[in-house]
Amino acid sequence: MNSEKIPPAHSVDFNIVRQAIVDRSHALWGSEIRIAWPHTRALPETAYKEALHRIDVRRSVSPPSRSHKFLHIDQAALMNADLHKQIVQTAQALEKRSPPLTLCIDNPLDALPSPVERRAMVRQLYKLKDQCGITLAYNNYRLDTKQADLLIDLELYNYIKMPFPDSALRLSLNTRSDLFDRLYDRMLALINTARVCFIADTVEFADSALLAKHLPFEYFQGGYYSPADCL
């Protein structure tokens, strides 16, 4: 058992937050851990290390779980060698006791201005998947997301998380446009070609949950289903 003590989150000005992810029958399917950070600067390495400690099954004496574990992480943090090592160790610890660790990644191209940086990040993503079977989730996919906005083709990812509903979709429903139908068709195309699963994120109200059930989302997350817990 890992006996390393975890410092209180408030002592370094960040909080570890966990929120449930449910399936179409509203049964618990998994959970996502993210770090609440009130600053615009990059998160400290210690924040991600603490989050990984929360996920690491070696700290628990409970039986194996089928609950999927997501960690929301900034892409820049993946280039940290020490953090990369701990991610791999945590993923390897999960292998025989639960489904693979999933990294939920923000991949804004403007954060990687040079081709050299972009190539290095793509190599790092493939390295993580090849080393220990980590799965990846593309975070913050929107109706206006274009191929040119992507660091790499969505086929690399296992999941696509989409804030739901976003402002464009709400507007389309009010104006009776065909945007809803086009979104449905685009999601089906990605499911068929990229073999991804869609997760409706930030679902806060009953009408949003009902609308999401009319689209090919496999999983759902947000305050409507379960409020986030501060660990």
Of 84 and 144, the one with more pLDDT? 84
Domain assignments of the chain as residue spans, ordered by start:
9-230
> pLDDT band at residue 1, thresholds of 50, 70 and 90?
very low
Contact criterion met (CB below 8 Å) for 1 and 212: no
- Give the start-end residues of each E strand in the chain: 15-23, 28-36, 68-74, 101-106, 135-138, 159-163, 197-201, 219-221, 229-230
Tokens 């993210």 sit at which residue?
34
Contact criterion met (CB below 8 Å) for 12 and 39: no
Mean pLDDT estimate for the chain: 83
Average pLDDT over residues 167-174: 62
What is the rounded CA–CA span in Å between residue 96 and residue 132?
12
CATH topology of domain 9-230: TIM Barrel (3.20.20)
Which pLDDT score, from 0 to 100, does residue 218 have? 97
Look up the pTM and report it.
0.86
Spell out the residues 6+ positions from residue 3 whose beta carbon is closer than 8 angstroms to its own: none
Tell me whether the omega of the peptide bond preceding residue 115 falls within 30 degrees of 0, making it cis: no
pLDDT one-digit tens code per residue, 10-62 = 446 888 999 999 999 999 999 999 988 776 667 778 888 889 988 875 555 55
- Give the start-end residues of each E strand in 83-122: 101-106
Of 143 and 6, the one with more pLDDT? 143
Which pLDDT score, from 0 to 100, does residue 225 have? 95
Q: List the one residue out of 224, 49, 201, 182 whose CA is nearest residue 137.
A: 201
